[in-house]
Amino acid sequence: MVYDCWRPVKGEFVSTSRPEGGGQSLLRLINSVAVLSALRESGPATITDLTRVTRLSRPTVEAAVDDLVAQGWAAEHEARGQRRVGRPARRFVFRGDSGYVLGFDVGAHRVLGVLADLNGDTVHVAETRVDPRLDADARLSVVRDVGTRCLNTAGVDRSSVMAVAVGCPGIIASDGTVTLSTVIPGWVDFPLARRLSRSFPCPVLVDNDANLAALAERAHGVARDVDDLVYLLIGRRIGAGLVLGGRVHRGFGGAAGEIGLLDFATWERSRELLLGPATGDSGRSHDHRVTGRILDRARAGEADAVRIVDEFCAVLARQAVAMTLTVDPEMIVLGGGLASAGDLLLPRLEKHISDVCVRTPRLAASTVGQEAVVLGAVRLALSAADEALQQRAKAGVAARG
């Protein structure tokens, strides 16, 4: 059987020659995956709904649904509290609990893990506070422990995890190696994905934390469905996540968005006045209450606090202007620990940007909050799980056929 011998009929592939070498089985795999994808996207759906969406014949859809139900990927939907005259059409749903993903936010001061099902619904959350001076191996052990706690508490077997994604500060290579991190000690040329894959027998992905925060904001937050977006992740460090044309832009070597390197010394001085040093040295660091008091005093108009906020915004605006002039985004989102201070920061940023740029993008504070990075990691893991899901569904159909 060769592909030249297939022709589309009403949206499905039909052989025009006598099948050899399992051609009909391959057609069955293709159609089952199409139905699986439609079921995931549509929610509860009847056979008629799936026939319309996939453009497959009704008998083909019925056979595919039977296969998916037998494998545990789909189930008949039981509507509750609905009274209908006559026999209602059977509805089917994708079983989100047929597999799971893990997302991690690994920072200087904490490791946050989220276990989610294949619908993206959170199953369990675990968090561990860590010493910012913790070395690479010890921090990796914490990540493994947080993941294990998520699985054990939820009663989920490790083999059910279909993808893992990690967000962390730094420049990340395409193979999941942290090539450089100025925030986490020892994470320089650190093969994070390869090391973590020893604990999870599934795809393991690593990305920059600002990239994943941008992904989460576009999926869940104020930038929902915005195709050209700059996400400013501001805390003890600054980074930017870029979404261009609806896709995260990482750059050739994963270094896109490292705007904290622009006039680094000036940025560090203005940031430390408001937020404290990036090192997190407990002897010198602000805590959140100190930053909160400065912001409250600035809102009250106290001159010294206003001066700190003004200087911070002036320096931050230089980075935002550089990004705006380069990629002309539709929106800039302020995220990280200072998102709650949008009332103070956004008007100042907007003025600085409008003074320089040809067009001023919309500015907004993040509505996803402190979980943006880990939620972005879950989204990335779900994307990786899609391919694994299709492969497992194909294997199951092949075994049954």
Domain ranges of the chain: 3-94, 99-212+373-388, 224-367
DSSP string, 246-274: TEEE--TTS-TT-GGGTTHHHHHHHHHHH
Is the torsion defined by CA of 371, 343, 364, 256 positive or negative? negative
Which CA distances in Å does 186 have to 134, 135, 180, 182, 250? 9, 6, 9, 9, 22
Q: Which two tokens stand for residue 28?
A: 């069955």
Query: Roughly how many angstroms between the first and final C-alpha of the chain, as a whole number?
Result: 18
Q: Which CATH class is domain 3-94?
A: mainly alpha
Q: Give 67-118 pLDDT, tens digit per residue.
A: 889 888 899 887 655 555 555 688 999 888 989 999 999 999 999 999 999 9
List, in sequence order, every beta strand (DSSP E) within 130-246.
161-168, 171-172, 178-180, 204-208, 229-234, 238-244
* Residue 8: strand pairing partners: 13
pTM: 0.83
Q: Tokens 């008949």 belong to which residue?
A: 76
Average pLDDT rounded to a whole number, residues 201-211? 95
In CATH terms, are 99-212+373-388 and 224-367 the same topology? Answer: yes
Please determine, for residue 265, whether its predicted confidence score (pLDDT) is greater than 80: yes
The 3-state DSSP class for residue 314 equals helix
Pairing of strands 74-76, 110-117: unpaired
CATH number of 99-212+373-388, picked from 3.30.420.40, 3.40.50.300, 3.30.365.10, 3.10.150.10: 3.30.420.40
Residue 366 identity: S
CA distance 174 to 371: 24
Q: Give 309-354 pLDDT, tens digit per residue.
A: 999 999 999 999 999 999 999 999 999 988 999 999 999 999 999 9
Average pLDDT rounded to a whole number, residues 267-276? 84
Length of the chain: 401
CB atoms within 10 A of CB 31: 22
CATH superfamily of 224-367: ATPase, nucleotide binding domain (3.30.420.40)
Q: Tokens 């009847």 belong to which residue?
A: 46
